[in-house]
């Protein structure tokens, strides 16, 4: 499993599109991505829209319901969250959910997972948030249950946070469903990725990428794992316009603290930047979102055409 070119859909608020046609617009983006060279379509696992993208009350679809429906609307793209908030679901149930998605999609599911971070969602929906350290304790226990279940092995754990008693997971289509961790934590996330993951999606400022890649390789080597066996990708905020001026206007809507993760310009200009600054830093693949205009027909296709030559 690898994600060489992923398209993330983080925004479900579209001008002049009512709720009755909202999912049609999501499907159109997924199909356009599939037909233009993207190998994976990803959605966020959130219940409210994120700060910097929109207001909390803006539209946000539940991730696994959406991916299950996209499985029937597409035929070749892999399907994943970027990434599942571990705190929102019992881990054995999550293993069952993603395995069912794999069966429904005929072998196209990836489990993207992270520790969870959006405190307001936890508060409002009644999920325990806990401390930073507790969330990573929970993630490690969850992966101890999930990893064997995705391989068809019974899972047992009498943990501090979770319990499983020989949990089995059928039906299954593949011998193993890939696990992708998302984040940037060098001490906790990267160590868990080295132990459990097939893929690491790094989410950080682009200037930090070379160091993150080096540390991730070090974490693999510390446990005797060949770093080449852990694929990597980078999440890009695409501020892409038909012209430089349009791209600049789109870029002005992004908060200051996220601008070091955003790439601005025409599709061709953004591709050139990504080749140099992301792939040149040792990253294997690119996942891009087009928050402001990905819903416009033709935008995803233009970006795919520009990026596909970078990743082969």
CB 306 within 8 A of CB 299: no
DSSP H or E run through 40: strand 40-43
CB-based contacts of 16, cutoff 8 Å, min separation 6:
none
pLDDT at 1: 60
DSSP H or E run through 166: strand 163-167
CATH classification (class only), 5-311: alpha beta
Residue 273's Cβ-side half-sphere holds a number of Cα atoms within 13 Å equal to 20
Tokens matching residue 162: 């979770």
pLDDT by 10-residue block (mean), the chain, 312 residues: 92 96 98 98 98 94 98 98 98 98 98 97 98 98 98 98 98 97 97 98 96 98 98 97 90 78 95 97 98 96 98 88
pLDDT at 209: 97
Q: Is the pTM of this model over 0.75?
A: yes
Q: How far apart are CA 189 and CA 216, in angstroms?
A: 9
Q: Which phi-psi region, left, alpha or beta, contains residue 307 (left: φ > 0; alpha: ψ -120 to 50)?
A: alpha
Tokens matching residue 255: 């908060």
CB 193 within 8 A of CB 216: yes
pLDDT at 260: 85
């Amino acid at each position: 499993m690898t994600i060489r070119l992923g398209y993330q859909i983080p925004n479900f608020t579209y001008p002049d599109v009512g709720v009755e046609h909202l999912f049609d617009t999501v499907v159109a983006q997924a199909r356009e991505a599939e037909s233009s060279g993207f190998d994976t379509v990803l959605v966020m696992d959130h219940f409210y829209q994120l700060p910097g993208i929109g207001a909390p009350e803006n539209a946000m679809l539940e991730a696994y319901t959406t991916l299950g429906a996209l499985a029937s609307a597409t035929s070749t793209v892999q399907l994943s969250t970027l990434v599942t908030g571990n705190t929102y679901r019992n881990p054995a149930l999550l293993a069952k959910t993603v395995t069912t998605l794999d069966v429904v999609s005929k072998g196209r599911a990836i489990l993207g997972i992270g520790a969870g971070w959006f405190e307001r969602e936890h508060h409002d929906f009644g999920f325990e948030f806990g401390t930073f350290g507790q969330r990573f304790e929970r993630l490690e226990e969850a992966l101890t249950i999930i990893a064997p279940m995705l391989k068809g092995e019974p899972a047992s754990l009498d943990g501090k946070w979770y319990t499983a008693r020989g949990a089995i997971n059928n039906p299954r289509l593949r011998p193993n469903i890939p696990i992708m961790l998302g984040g940037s934590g060098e001490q906790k996330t990267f160590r868990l990725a080295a132990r459990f993951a097939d893929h690491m999606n790094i989410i950080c400022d682009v200037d930090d990428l070379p160091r993150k890649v080096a540390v991730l390789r070090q974490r693999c080597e510390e446990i005797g794992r060949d770093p080449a066996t852990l694929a990597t990708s980078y999440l890009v905020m695409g501020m892409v316009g038909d012209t430089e001026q349009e791209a600049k206007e789109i870029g002005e809507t992004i908060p200051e603290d996220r601008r070091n993760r955003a790439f601005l310009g025409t599709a061709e200009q953004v591709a050139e930047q990504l080749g140099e600054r992301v792939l040149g830093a040792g990253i294997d693949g690119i996942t891009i979102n087009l928050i402001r205009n990905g819903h416009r027909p033709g935008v995803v296709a233009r970006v795919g055409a520009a990026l596909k030559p970078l990743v082969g």
